[in-house]
Amino acid sequence: MSRRGLIARVRRGLYLVPSRLPPGGKWGPSEYLALETLIKDRKGRYQICGPSAFQRYGFDEQVPNRIYAYNDVISGQRKIGSATFTLIKVDQSRLGDIDTFTTPDGIKVAYSSRARTLVDAVYDWSRFGSLPRAYNWIRNELARDSGAAEAIAMAAIRYSNTSTLRRIGKLLEMEGVAESLVSKIERELPKTSAEIPWCPTHAKRGTVHRRWGVVFNA
């Protein structure tokens, strides 16, 4: 029945079945229903992230061909019906700062917030291919929303790592964000003499910004 499009297999022994078949006799669950079922079956949590969130918030116009989701139970690729997922298993401490909405059929969907999505575009750049584009997304967000700087800084402090804090701290400083907020990021940094590139996909050559240990190689 799964092959004929009458039901959708989530895993062995767990299937999604429509209350009634649509005209034409084929059915597939929505990507939100499929994701919710998959994660709830493992008693986990998730939040949609990466390219899926970039497109939702208008940072990137490209519509991804799969749903990306951070979660605390499953890692890898999954396909349920016609929906394809890239599932990124993270520690529970990295889940949070979400926006939610409820679909017409009652499914509660969790996306990373705008600020968290921008932070992850810097933090998870190698997975999402999002640097250096994310720097312009952050600049545009700062211009759009007066509260964005604080939201981004707080998300970076809570959910990112040292290299992300250094890059975001430098960017906020360059964009003229209040020194009190920039200093809050700086205080989270460990003492180190190591330098990191501003654009990790470019050669590590350029001016060194000592405060942040960033080689400005854009």
Domain end call among 63, 78, 112: 112
Predicted pLDDT at 4: 46
- Region 94-115: mean pLDDT is 97
DSSP 22-62: PTTS-----HHHHHHHHHHHTT--EEE-HHHHHHHTTS---
Do residues 95 and 120 share a domain? no
Which of the four pLDDT bands, split at 50, 70 and 90, describes residue 192? confident
- Using pLDDT thresholds of 50, 70 and 90, give the confidence band for residue 39: very high
Query: Average pLDDT over the chain, rounded to whole?
Result: 94
pLDDT tens for 150-166 read 999 999 999 999 999 99
- Domain span holding position 34: 1-112
Query: What local confidence, expressed as pLDDT, does residue 14 receive?
Result: 87
Same domain, 107 and 180: no
Quick one: 56 and 121 in the same domain?
A: no
Ranges 13-22, 49-58, 75-84: which has the least confidence = 13-22
> What is the rounded CA–CA span in Å between residue 69 and residue 81?
17
Do residues 97 and 123 both lie within one domain?
Answer: no
Residues 6+ apart with CB under 8 A from 161: 123
| Band of residue 8 on the pLDDT scale cut at 50, 70, 90 | confident
CA distance 17 to 75: 25
CA 29 – CA 32 distance, rounded (Å): 8
pLDDT of residue 3: 43
Tell me: pLDDT of 18 over 80: no
Q: Could you tell me if 104 and 125 lie in one domain?
A: no
